[in-house]
Amino acid sequence: MDEPNLVERQLRSTTVYSGSVLRLRVDDVELPSGRRSRREVVEHPGGVAVVAVDRDSSVILVRQFRYPVRSALWEIPAGKLEPGEDPLRCAARELEEETGYRAGVLEEVVPFYTSPGFCDEVLHLFFARSLEPGDERPDEDEVIETRRVSRAELDDMIARGEIRDGKTLLGLFMAIARGLV
Amino acid sequence: MDEPNLVERQLRSTTVYSGSVLRLRVDDVELPSGRRSRREVVEHPGGVAVVAVDRDSSVILVRQFRYPVRSALWEIPAGKLEPGEDPLRCAARELEEETGYRAGVLEEVVPFYTSPGFCDEVLHLFFARSLEPGDERPDEDEVIETRRVSRAELDDMIARGEIRDGKTLLGLFMAIARGLV
């Protein structure tokens, strides 16, 4: 931070829960005004998400049951970073695990925070091209369905509200803006 | 759900923490394969985010210190839903509280999940136009700075990686795709 006057200063930190995916802590902080407040913070390892574009400019979507929202969502391939894992390596791994494809070209587009008001999760968004079949098969406990979707079909799915996952909408709109799909 | 075979069935649910913003529960679930697993779920009230476009097609951004990521981020105006609050009313309220503007036209574009792998948070994205000065002043403990940003400046900020908030990137790319900015 180059503007220390903006900083909310940590006075006390209490870890409430430490699980396999998340940690939750509750911190007492001092605001720049001098007032005190409390912050509930979810710590998450961060992850990657991959817009994989095929030779014919179609995009590969996967469908997964998402327990917190009790429904199956169409998403771009994505996954959590292992401790110390490089995002590029993670993107290659998750793409192959979830879709069976390897990417000849894999470039990071942007890292972004999913919900910085209460969570430190960073997602690294990648574009993947020059797809070739790999060796991995999707884990049946994770991915339900894989589908190649053309630009026209994407536009329909978006217009009908069938894509409800934020990272997927962002990845698709960025790929469209760059003329990739 | 119209495909009950996809559902992860809740076997047991334990609330670990119940705070002012978040609840955290840990559920034991049965997967469709019959295997058992555990799900850490953050419950969040959901919220709104508003791409407010001025007469000259510039967009209003606000800068806030985000404690979980220990930095100040440029974002579109946003805020949490009060219990039972209509998203449209919430969007009007947050826009005026954070920027001082009222919108003559306020339309919901898309609801989306910010991080459906571990959290049920839904954000309702709005486009606001026909802005007029309102009565509210920004809360100094919340918004640090408000700025009107032209399309050329937005492109520069995005290219330089200065916009790191997911809902803001999504809102801006959707507004660009619709020709609003």
Interface predicted TM-score (ipTM): 0.95
* Yes or no, beta carbons of A169 and B110 under 8 Å apart: yes
B180 touches chain A (CB under 8 A): no
Structure tokens at A33: 């005004």
Instruction: State the Cα–Cα distance between residues A179 and A62, nearest whole angstrom.
Output: 22
Please report the pLDDT score of residue B140 as a whole number: 65
CA-based nearest residue to A11, from A25, A30, A26: A30
> Are the C-beta atoms of residues A26 and A16 closer than 8 Å to each other?
yes
Please report the pLDDT score of residue B139 as a whole number: 67
Least CB–CB distance from A169: residue in B37, B40, B170 = B170
Structure tokens at A97: 């695990």
Please report the pLDDT score of residue B23 as a whole number: 98
* Yes or no, beta carbons of B38 and A20 under 8 Å apart: yes
Least CB–CB distance from A40: residue in B1, B6, B22 = B22
Give yes or no for residue A138 having a pLDDT over 80.
no
- Split at pLDDT 50, 70, 90, the class of A144 is confident
Q: What is the identity of the amino acid at A18? A: S
* Yes or no, beta carbons of B115 and A116 under 8 Å apart: no
Give yes or no for residue A4 having a pLDDT over 70.
no
Give yes or no for residue A2 having a pLDDT over 80.
no
Please report the pLDDT score of residue B2 as a whole number: 47
Q: Could you report the per-residue pLDDT of B38-53, keeping only the tens digit for each? A: 999 999 999 999 999 9
Q: Which residues, in sequence order, are bridge partners of residue A112? A: A123
Give the mean pLDDT of chain A: 94
Picking from A114, A127, A143 by the largest number of B CB atoms within 10 A of its own CB, the best residue to mutate is A114
Q: Cα–Cα–Cα angle for B51, B58, B79, nearest 5°? A: 25
Please report the pLDDT score of residue B1 as a whole number: 43
Please report the pLDDT score of residue A1 as a whole number: 44
Q: Could you report the per-residue pLDDT of A79-92, keeping only the tens digit for each? A: 999 999 999 999 99
CA-based nearest residue to B180, from B134, B118, B125: B125
* Pairing of β B145-149 and β B122-133: unpaired
Least CB–CB distance from B68: residue in A120, A140, A166 = A120
Low-confidence ranges of chain B (pLDDT < 50): 1-2
Picking from A3, A119, A144 by the largest number of B CB atoms within 10 A of its own CB, the best residue to mutate is A119
For residue B145, give how far its alpha carbon lies from the nearest alpha carbon of chain A (Å).
11
Give yes or no for residue A163 having a pLDDT over 70.
yes
Please report the pLDDT score of residue B6 as a whole number: 83
* Yes or no, beta carbons of B39 and A67 under 8 Å apart: yes
* Yes or no, beta carbons of A24 and B17 under 8 Å apart: yes
- CA quadruple A43, B20, B111, B143: dihedral sign: negative
For residue A167, give how far its alpha carbon lies from the nearest alpha carbon of chain B (Å).
7
Collapsed DSSP state (helix, strand, coil) of residue A67: helix
φ/ψ of residue A150, rounded to 5: -75, 165
H/E stretch holding B174 reads helix B166-177
Residues of A that are catalytic:
140
